[in-house]
Structure 1
């Protein structure tokens, strides 16, 4: 069934994937900034030479972007109910 023949509207900002992407995006930005600014050489040495905050933050940002793309490419269609009409 094509997008134009479906009746209803998309969930938009109320799609759970958008909410999850927003949360991961916010945490991803915070952790990425912490990895760039507030990580000492001692912290990196404790993590076997890997800046865990930086890589975790980048991973969260990629995950958020994938969720947003998924929501954009495959939107959830909310069917119209009998009481709704577009002529009102």
Structure 2
């Protein structure tokens, strides 16, 4: 006799192990460092053609990191534990719709 709990799949999101979260976090960290160097360090205008390359690259990395984190939050990867435990289907990870 099966109960309702047996038929409902156990599902959770990949969370911090989603590659988009890892990439977004790393881009954000590098973006913070480069933005701080662009604001506080030597802009080296003579070597970069008159632009503050650290500041521009830092802001671009911050934006890219936020895009990755927003993407991971908007469309989380859902892991179906029963499919994963069964092991006969290699496609156990699906994006939430």
TM range (shorter): 0.7 to 0.9
Distance in 2 (CA, whole Å) between partners of 1:53 and 1:44 is 11
Q: Which has the higher strand share?
A: 2
Which one has a bigger Cα radius of gyration?
2
Distance in 2 (CA, whole Å) between partners of 1:8 and 1:74 is 15
Higher-RCO chain (CA-CA 8 Å, sequence separation at least 6): 1
Tell me the CA shift for residue 27 of structure 1.
0.6
The count of corresponding residues between Structure 1 and Structure 2 is 77
Query: Aligned residue for 1:79?
Result: 80
Residue 61 in 1 paired to residue 62 in 2?
A: yes
- Scaled by the length of structure 2, the TM-score of the pair is 0.72
Q: Report the aligned-residue RMSD.
A: 1.9
